[in-house]
Structure 1
């Protein structure tokens, strides 16, 4: 069995080794901007690849005359000027020049606009989903997106770990859309998979990388949590159902225990590569919720008072470390929304058959 697992891991590692994102001989002419973020941003940038125009929503409390870019993703082997981290006067239209590998240049116009403080996350009713093909395996999976034509990982608002599930030969993944009242909702299921024995269903703001297979010592390394966000909700609400499974697995091995679902929203302020926790709203429970129920969670700003569970404290996972609590009056720069059918799924722990269903996430102001 150990030999089989090692062989399977080796095959997956070879199959899923990331390559440059096009099939092209010679120097590439691609000069796209795939993702664009500035400090003080309140939502996701809109990128018009045909017109070469990028619209950036900025919190209404932030001045536009000197904003630094915090993230610019361009086509592979291309460069961009001004570079990431340089401040610019976004009260005017800024020209960013992307130089392709072949030396050709493309001008992109970037405009910032003020957005009201009461911002919702796009597609938070989970009605819009997009079918994607994992080309090297020839299998399909789906993820929720408000812009089906966009397939750039780093520009995704919502994503799942379905690419990891289908790499384990689970057709379609384990986070899927289900019809409801003329729309859809998200169904997350913890399933049995080769090698790791369990894979929790997950849905989150951010994106799941193409690096495979998942790192057993740090499985969260495949997930980049959080999107740009600059508002201060007082609470969140959503509709949900939960049914914990009975086949419990702990750290990849059969065990005894009770599974729990995980639902949380974190607000962060990211400055100079450091992450500070601004706000926390969290729900972890083993209770069976058999019919659609509204869950309300208050947003706690600043440091959590004594008595809160330790898992709600500052994140210390490698690559995600939060260095301190922010001032409770700070405006965040990012929001992390995470749903999981097994709270400890990132350590390959939970119960096969646990199902979390979610719909209609709302940020309340």
Structure 2
């Protein structure tokens, strides 16, 4: 029995009994905004559904999206305007589940046809996260700079809890497709990932943003699986490099460069410079669900991650 218990603890699973469980706003995935955006005529002029997580609404204006109704969620569903051409990407979808909805994130190839000829093909992973996107997207360079990662947050939850389902692509290697260079293979399989980081941030007089990592939880999914309800993962606090559950390739400081908006209104990199202590109080919560773990433009078409009922456990 002790062996089972220690195995569970090592895997970061916790029992949510006798704990307070709090839904993240709009975390039940039942409310969606349907942005109906008309793309430019030169690329076909179709009207596309670009979904956002927020109070139920239909928006027919082709305008840059700002989080609505107090929703803390942003997604990889975006409107881009490059060289006067309006183009959209949708890789996160509301999907019926029971009496409500869940979110489905797909990794897929997105092609743009100019005058009916395939011109640009980009690999788009489905991703949703706490934060904002700076629309319209103006190019494919440095995609993280287009995101404001994380939300102000000062609590210290012991775990995150959500329902999930996974469909894995059968590709052994991943694809890199940025749209402008040739499509290449990338070693290693593609895994859906959930990552949560609690940061204690500060800003210097030049507007640089620094952070200590206070809390960490990262999980990847390696097999196709049906719905798991109330999956619960412990958040590890402080310097976790000596913890048996620490995986440097997923959890190290600055594991991926993220950006935030400083007090001058500029999008700047968050420089994660140190581990916090277990007593540090965070200033920001970063949480991301993604159908591909490898960053922008890298993944395996066919990967999907379904998520529902995202909660924090105290």
TM-score under structure 1 normalisation?
A: 0.60
1:329 is paired with a residue whose SS is: coil
Distance 1:305 1:257, change over 3 A: closer
Measured against aligned partners, the alpha-carbon deviations of 1:96-152 in whole angstroms (never above 9, x if no partner) come to xxxxxxxxxxxxxxxxxxxxx976420111111111244664533111114759953
Conserved? CA contact 2:79–2:86, under 8 Å: no
1:192 is paired with a residue whose SS is: strand
* Alpha-carbon separation, structure 2, partners of 1:166 and 1:118: 41
Q: Residue 227 in 1 paired to residue 151 in 2? A: yes
Q: Which runs of 5+ in 2 are unaligned?
A: 1-19, 41-46, 60-64, 112-119, 178-182, 204-208, 259-268
Distance 1:196 1:225, change over 3 A: farther
Distance 1:223 1:243, change over 3 A: same
Aligned to 2:105: 188
Aligned to 2:74: 159
2:145 is paired with a residue whose SS is: helix
Distance 1:169 1:211, change over 3 A: closer
Conserved? CA contact 1:165–1:199, under 8 Å: no
Aligned to 1:332: 282
Conserved? CA contact 1:199–1:345, under 8 Å: no
Aligned to 2:253: 314
Larger relative strand fraction: 2
Q: Residue 125 in 1 paired to residue 40 in 2? A: no
* Alpha-carbon separation, structure 1, partners of 2:235 and 2:138: 35
Equivalent residue for 2:233, pick from 297, 303, 321: 297
1:267 is paired with a residue whose SS is: strand
Conserved? CA contact 2:26–2:71, under 8 Å: no
**Number of matched pairs:** 247
Shift of 1:197: 3.3
Shift of 1:320: 2.7
* Alpha-carbon separation, structure 2, partners of 1:219 and 1:246: 27
1:324 is paired with a residue whose SS is: strand
Give the alignment of 1:1-365 within 5 angstroms: 120-134=23-37, 137=40, 139-146=48-55, 152-153=66-67, 156-163=71-78, 173-194=90-111, 195-216=120-141, 218-247=142-171, 248-252=173-177, 253-255=183-185, 257-272=188-203, 273-306=209-242, 308-310=246-248, 311-315=250-254, 317=257, 319-346=269-296, 348-365=297-314
1:122 is paired with a residue whose SS is: coil
Distance 1:181 1:166, change over 3 A: farther
Conserved? CA contact 2:216–2:237, under 8 Å: yes
Measured against aligned partners, the alpha-carbon deviations of 1:253-305 in whole angstroms (never above 9, x if no partner) come to 34364210110111111222322211011101222213334422101011112
1:352 is paired with a residue whose SS is: coil
* Alpha-carbon separation, structure 2, partners of 1:198 and 1:179: 25
Distance 1:164 1:323, change over 3 A: farther
Measured against aligned partners, the alpha-carbon deviations of 1:141-185 in whole angstroms (never above 9, x if no partner) come to 111114759953496510111115899998771101111121110
Distance 1:210 1:322, change over 3 A: same
Higher RCO (C-alpha 8 Å, min separation 6): 2
Shift of 1:213: 4.1
* Alpha-carbon separation, structure 2, partners of 1:251 and 1:284: 20
Conserved? CA contact 1:203–1:340, under 8 Å: yes
Conserved? CA contact 2:80–2:136, under 8 Å: no
